[in-house]
Amino acid sequence: VAADATVSSPLSRLRAPSFTTALGLLFVAFIGVWLVINLIKTPADFFEVTAIGITNGCVYALVALGYTLVYGILELINFAHGDVFMLGGMFTITYSTNFFGLHHGQGAVIVPIVIATLLLTMATCGAINATIEFFAYRPLRSAPRLAPLITAIGVSFIIENVALAVWGPEYVIAPDVLPRSDVFHIGSFDYQWNKLIAVIITVPVLLGLVYLIQNTRQGKAMRATAQDKDASAMMGINVNRTISFTFLIAGALAGAAGIIYSLYFTSVKFDQGFQLGLIAFTAAVLGGIGNLPGAVLGAVLIGLLQGWNEGLNWHSPGSDWTESIVFAILILILVFRPAGLLGEQTPEGG
């Protein structure tokens, strides 16, 4: 999973940039200039939009980590992952309103309720994801590479329709419980609690994940399995169980993303998962698929880009074009730098 970054020698870093690198840098500089002009013109808007972007980025980060974990261990793009995230949002609503009676204007009692819902949703989504792996992907371990990929698309459709049957075709409304009071404000820029909540949930989950992978026996098994399955099996690692565990963790992360999403945006629809999953996947690719810090970096970047694109006034393409921009980034990264920003160059990817 966390691939050891091969440090390229300083000499190779100093060689003249290739044409595509130059073009890429020019493009980044262009975006930078656009941002600076926007910052000067409307500073309050700029920070406001940036804060929204970071909140988006947190959701994307949690989903993107799931993609990257699974890709790191199985080299499978798990298309169904975005839909597991959507299920997370749905379960959040069901658990918090039906089990715990969460509703608007309850005061401080929402904190334990949200934590309980978070844990319950994460457990549910983790279990669902591991079940999907067991039934849909495990029988295809020795099949041609595209077989599990195609199956994943099918699974995604099935989950979507199950959600449609259970929660109906309309937006499912979540209780609007997050406080909107200011955390702080500088000039005309306000930062509200409901935006901070995403960060409050995401950071501990991420720290827990890092601890799990770096410091535990199971994490070591995951890293070993990602490197070489056969060798891990010879070393006595139960590879199938490790893969199941990875799917469990990925699903739990998607569940955490689901709770943030549904509490912050206060509505979830059965078909939202696939689209958001693709955006999160783009984030994972941008950071370098298989690379955990890369996924977070990519997700925050994509979140910020989305926020800026939709919120800034001066010459921004606007929300009509968000998907196109995200997928254009995806295509450009895959074509010109398949290893992503932080990932290492794979022989097959190049």
What is the contact surface with other proteins in residues (CB under 8 A)? 75-77, 136, 139-151, 153-158, 160-161, 164-165, 169, 229-230, 232-234, 238-240, 274, 278, 281, 285, 317, 320-321, 323-324, 327-328, 330-331, 334-335, 338, 348-349
Q: What angle do CA 40, 45, 48 make, to 5 degrees?
A: 125
Q: Among residues 293 and 349, whose Cβ is nearest to other proteins?
A: 349
Residue 164 Cβ, how far from other proteins at the closest point, in Å?
Answer: 7
Gap between the terminal Cα atoms of the chain: 19
**Neighbouring residues of 105: CB distance < 8 A, sequence distance ≥ 6:** none
Residue 93 Cβ, how far from other proteins at the closest point, in Å?
Answer: 21
- Under DSSP, the state recorded for 134 is I
The DSSP annotation for 39-70 comes to HHH-HHHHHHHHHHHHHHHHHHHHHHHHHHHH
Residue 82 Cβ, how far from other proteins at the closest point, in Å?
Answer: 12
Q: Among residues 96 and 309, whose Cβ is nearest to other proteins?
A: 309
By DSSP bridging, strand 189-192 and strand 182-186 are: antiparallel
Alpha helices per DSSP H over the chain? 10-14, 19-41, 43-74, 81-93, 110-132, 146-167, 193-215, 217-227, 229-234, 239-265, 272-287, 292-311, 322-336
Q: Among residues 18 and 238, whose Cβ is nearest to other proteins?
A: 238
Residue 334 Cβ, how far from other proteins at the closest point, in Å?
Answer: 5
Q: Among residues 121 and 129, whose Cβ is nearest to other proteins?
A: 129
Q: Among residues 136 and 196, whose Cβ is nearest to other proteins?
A: 136
| Structure tokens that stand for 308 in this block | 């800026």
Q: Among residues 54 and 326, whose Cβ is nearest to other proteins?
A: 326
Residue 18 Cβ, how far from other proteins at the closest point, in Å?
Answer: 15
Residue 257 Cβ, how far from other proteins at the closest point, in Å?
Answer: 20
Q: Among residues 140 and 210, whose Cβ is nearest to other proteins?
A: 140
| Structure tokens that stand for 121 in this block | 């949703």
- What is the distance, to the nearest Å, from the Cα of residue 149 to the centroid of all Cα atoms in its chain? 19
Residue 234 Cβ, how far from other proteins at the closest point, in Å?
Answer: 7
